[in-house]
Amino acid sequence: AQSVTQLDSQVPVFEEAPVELRCNYSSSVSVYLFWYVQYPNQGLQLLLKYLSGSTLVKGINGFEAEFNKSQTSFHLRKPSVHISDTAEYFCAVSDYGGATNKLIFGTGTLLAVQP
Amino acid sequence: DTAVSQTPKYLVTQMGNDKSIKCEQNLGHDTMYWYKQDSKKFLKIMFSYNNKELIINETVPNRFSPKSPDKAHLNLHINSLELGDSAVYFCASSQDPGRGGVYGYTFGSGTRLTVV
């Protein structure tokens, strides 16, 4: 069965510094990966997704992620963070079964941007 | 216009009560979902409907009953509420995965349920 692991529960970083949020997955079939962001007291918003093709995926708000099959990773990066990027970030894998599209989420990483 | 809207946003109720949460999407999607987010922010799928048909039913107490009157609406009814039901419940929608694709979800803003 598919699963994702986000090893870092919290990542503190100073404003304008680069950041990487780690995500590792396990899957026995084709892999479809997503990153979502959850701002305080809001729903989840899709940042980016990898379905196939180029392993470097660009998303909204300046974020990007790289799919690495050999390391079973899909780390999220941003070269320079802002205070407004403070939020919970979730990695997810699709348990696509042809007729169903169940997303399995990691436990989340809180990105805490400090001035 | 809100794409996926849930009501109510907050719900405080006593143990043993029965309550419902409503969800509506105006995106034209065929598939809708209910997820539960616990106090540690862990998200777990509960149910999914595709064109009013139940397609995912995870291990959830049968006190929880989803209902989809049409493909734009998915409601969640909870009987005999317990303290452990306190959580944030998210509705989401996506295009029909049966069309041969993998699609991301659009989430509602959540319903924070507190059972006292």
List the pLDDT tens digit at each of the 116 positions of chain B.
679 999 999 999 999 999 999 999 999 998 999 999 999 999 999 999 988 888 888 888 999 999 999 999 999 999 999 999 999 999 999 987 666 667 788 999 999 999 99
pLDDT of A92? 94
| b/e B26-56 (16+ beta carbons within 10 angstroms → b) | eeebbbbbbbbbeeebebebbbbbbeeeebb
Cα–Cα distances (Å) from A11 to A15, B25, B32, in that order, read: 12, 34, 32
Residue of chain A with shortest Cα separation from B54: A100
In this predicted model, what pLDDT tens digit does every residue of A20-70 receive, in sequence order? 999 999 876 778 899 999 998 888 999 999 988 889 999 999 999 999 999
Residue from the list A38, A99, A101 with its beta carbon closest to the beta carbon of B94: A101
pLDDT of B52? 83
pLDDT of A14? 97
Interchain CB distance below 8 Å, B41 and A34: no
Interchain CB distance below 8 Å, B104 and A46: yes
Dihedral over Cα of A110, B1, B3, B7: its sign: positive
CA B25 from centroid of its chain's CA atoms = 12
The span from the CA of B111 to the CA of B22, in Å, is 9
In this predicted model, what pLDDT tens digit does every residue of A78-114 receive, in sequence order? 999 999 999 999 999 987 766 678 889 999 999 999 9
The span from the CA of A47 to the CA of A59, in Å, is 5
